[in-house]
């Protein structure tokens, strides 16, 4: 009997993944990862919601434990607090300092869930590891999950083929509604549990209060990119992302404003009025390239943000680590620090990180 170690998060997706694997005849073991020291950080992270004075991460562990007891599998627990800080959270802060908009979930998958976790699973005798991601693997290819609204291959785009070689994604062939129905049929505590949001393994926080504990707030001018008029003050460039139109808090300005750029050296946040032409780019430099597939096409589709519609692109290969992606039709709010992920039909080919955004071969104001 093959042994599978399942990453039990305390959510419905990993709960159902464990059920499906057990029903398929695998020897299933649950493994819960503790990646954030909530006991130290609770008071400074924006007062996360507590349930009977239990921090959210401990509640997730309790939920995972109850699920494992219900379906009759053991649950182990492992501590990756230091590794998470070193490989994910430090990256997150460093990118914010540069004025970029990072995606820590992608790095968490690369360095924690499919690296540190996989090594721990091997210690437990695992033949395979499994998670509750909405994705599929067929014939060595990483494919989108059946549920287009939940597909998570975007977050798996920095994994290597070796990392994916012994991975199972049991819920990838299901719609989210089907997953919840299975959980309800088994009477699981996670059946109606809200999906996790916020920063990977840290969860929902008061973002401004949270970041202020690690990066200083440095207020500066908000400037109209068209007139160069100072419209107000921002509370720190790290709190804003390209295309943002809410939370600007510029008093007395009735027009809808969009964030269109950041001048890091002068600490200026640039905005534009309803005209969104400033947000449209037609090419981008992508670095930190990771190919999962052997297929490196000259044309494919790409996503520049999670749940963004597919965009037709052509690829100009500069070197092994850098590609210029062209999209002459124009795409709004392509943002440095986010991932650009490539697809051919349902196959996720791999991806990289957006380094620079251009329009008519000129670098935009973004950074």
The tens digit of pLDDT for each residue in 94-125 reads 999 999 999 999 999 999 999 999 999 999 99
Single residue among 167, 188, 207 that ends a domain in this structure: 207
Residues 99, 196: one domain?
A: yes
- The residue from 55, 68, 108, 300 that is catalytic is 108
Containing structural domain, residue 254: 216-275
Please say which residue of 157, 188, 207 terminates a domain.
Answer: 207
Q: What is the structure's pLDDT at 133?
A: 97
Mean pLDDT, consecutive 10-residue stretches, the chain (367 aa), reads 96 97 98 79 47 69 96 96 94 93 95 97 97 96 97 98 97 98 97 76 64 88 92 91 82 72 93 84 97 95 95 96 96 95 98 95 71
Segment 5-18, tens digit of pLDDT = 999 999 999 999 99
Q: What is the per-residue DSSP string for 285-340? A: EEEEEEESSS---SEEEEESSTTPPPEEEEEEEEETTEEEEEEEEEEE---TTSEE
Closest CA to 103 of 361, 365, 338: 338
221 in Cβ contact with 234 (< 8 Å):
yes
CB 69 within 8 A of CB 46: no
| 108 has catalytic annotation | yes
Catalytic residue among 55, 68, 200, 348: 200
Residue 169 sits in the same domain as residue 246? no
What total number of domains does the chain contain? 3
Our answer to whether residue 68 is catalytic in this structure is no
Share of the chain above pLDDT 90, in %: 75
Kindly state whether residues 110 and 58 are assigned to the same domain. Answer: yes
* 190 and 224 inside one domain: no
Tokens of 233: 């003050």
Same domain, 222 and 138: no
Secondary structure E strands in 49-165 = 75-79, 128-130, 135-138, 141-144
């Amino acid at each position: 009997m093959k042994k599978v170690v399942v990453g039990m998060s305390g959510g419905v997706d990993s709960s159902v993944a464990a059920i499906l694997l057990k029903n398929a005849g695998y020897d299933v073991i649950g493994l819960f990862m503790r990646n954030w020291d909530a006991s130290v950080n609770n008071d400074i992270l924006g007062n996360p919601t507590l349930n009977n004075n239990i921090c959210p991460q401990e509640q997730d562990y309790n939920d995972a434990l109850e699920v494992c007891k219900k379906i009759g599998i053991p649950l182990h627990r492992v501590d990756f607090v230091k590794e998470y800080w070193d490989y994910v959270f430090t990256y997150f802060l460093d990118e914010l300092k540069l004025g970029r908009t990072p995606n820590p979930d992608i790095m968490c998958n690369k360095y924690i869930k499919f690296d540190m976790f996989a090594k721990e699973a091997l210690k437990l005798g695992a033949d395979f590891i499994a998670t509750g991601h909405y994705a599929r693997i067929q014939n060595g290819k990483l494919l989108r999950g059946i549920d287009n609204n939940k597909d998570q291959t975007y977050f798996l785009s920095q994994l290597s083929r070796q990392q994916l070689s012994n991975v199972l994604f049991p819920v990838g062939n299901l719609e989210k509604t089907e997953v919840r129905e299975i959980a309800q049929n088994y009477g699981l505590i996670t059946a109606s549990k809200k999906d996790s949001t916020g920063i990977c393994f840290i969860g929902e926080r008061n973002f401004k209060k949270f970041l202020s504990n690690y990066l200083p707030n440095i207020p500066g001018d908000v400037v109209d990119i068209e007139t160069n008029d100072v419209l107000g003050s921002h509370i720190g460039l790290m709190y804003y992302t390209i295309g943002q139109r809410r939370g600007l808090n510029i008093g007395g300005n009735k027009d809808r404003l969009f964030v269109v750029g950041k001048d890091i050296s002068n600490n200026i946040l640039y905005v534009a009025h309803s005209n969104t032409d400033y947000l449209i780019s037609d090419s981008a430099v992508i670095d930190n390239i990771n190919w999962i597939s052997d297929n490196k096409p000259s044309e494919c589709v790409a996503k520049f943000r999670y749940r963004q519609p597919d965009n037709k692109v052509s690829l100009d290969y500069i070197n092994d680590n850098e590609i210029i992606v062209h999209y002459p039709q124009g795409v709004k709010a392509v943002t440095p620090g986010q991932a650009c992920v490539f697809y051919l039909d349902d196959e996720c080919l791999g991806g990289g990180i957006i380094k620079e955004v251009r329009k008519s071969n000129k670098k935009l104001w973004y950074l």
